Amino acid sequence: MTAMSSGCSRYVRLSADEFRARLQEALAIYVQAMQYPEGTAEQRAPMWLTHALRDGWRCMAALDGNGVLLGLAYGYHGRAGQWWHEQVRQGLTRRSGREKADEWLSDYFELTEIHVRPENQGKQIGEGLLLGLLDGVEKSKVLLSTPEGTNRAWNLYRRTGFVDVLRDYHFTGDPRPFAILGRQLPLERR
């Protein structure tokens, strides 16, 4: 566990084993932050565990002074054949052409999850997670998807230089519109 501190919380890089040990705690934050129904955590657990095996996987956690998980972010190297990559490629190719899809979907880090307990949002914990997670990533860009609509997450992404890659996209199996956002790396600390 590598640690750095900021404000009222401590940021640590979790190993895959540490991530697995805190999985239920992390999934509870995910369900709260995304306002998903009960039972979502059980559906997502196997997928999150599989993600931890992907090339370039890394994870940052925000902890309070007692070691309670306040937030979590993780991601990995995106590549052809991964579900998210293929979904985004299809949408981007359809709307903007193959060249634009090839430009964005090469040499990128997929910021897969970033969530903060609702009662701890607005305290720059998400920004600390984002900066810590992306520090030292050896890819030329980072991509993420987020539900459409102005909220704290959107404000964070805009403040840290993310631009629109694809808007109002519907992933298979989810009725909500999503935005795909991206930016060049490195992401400098302010």
54, part of any domain: yes
b/e 102-134 (16+ beta carbons within 10 angstroms → b): eebbeebbbbbbbbbbeebbebbbbbbbbbbbb
At residue 151, the pLDDT reads: 83
Question: Is this prediction's pTM over 0.85?
Answer: yes
pLDDT of residue 174: 85
Residue 167 belongs to a domain: yes
Looking at the domain assignment, is residue 126 inside a domain?
yes
Q: So what's the pLDDT on residue 156?
A: 94
d(CA 123, CA 116): 10
Residue 165 phi/psi, 5° resolution?
A: -110, -45
The verdict on residue 37 lying in a domain is yes
Mean pLDDT of 96-103: 97
Tell me, yes or no, whether 34 lies in a domain: yes
Looking at the domain assignment, is residue 6 inside a domain? yes
Return the pLDDT at 5.
40
Q: What is the count of structural domains for the chain?
A: 1
- Measured distance CA(45)–CA(47) in Å, rounded: 5
Q: Which domain holds residue 115?
A: 2-184
Percent of the chain with pLDDT over 70: 94
Angle at 56 (CA atoms; ends 65, 149), nearest 5 degrees: 65
The verdict on whether 157 is a catalytic residue reads yes
CATH assignment at residue 170: 3.40.630.30
Q: Tell me: the pLDDT tens digits for 14-64?
A: 999 999 999 999 999 999 998 888 899 999 999 999 999 999 999 999 999
Active-site position among 11, 76, 157, 169 = 157
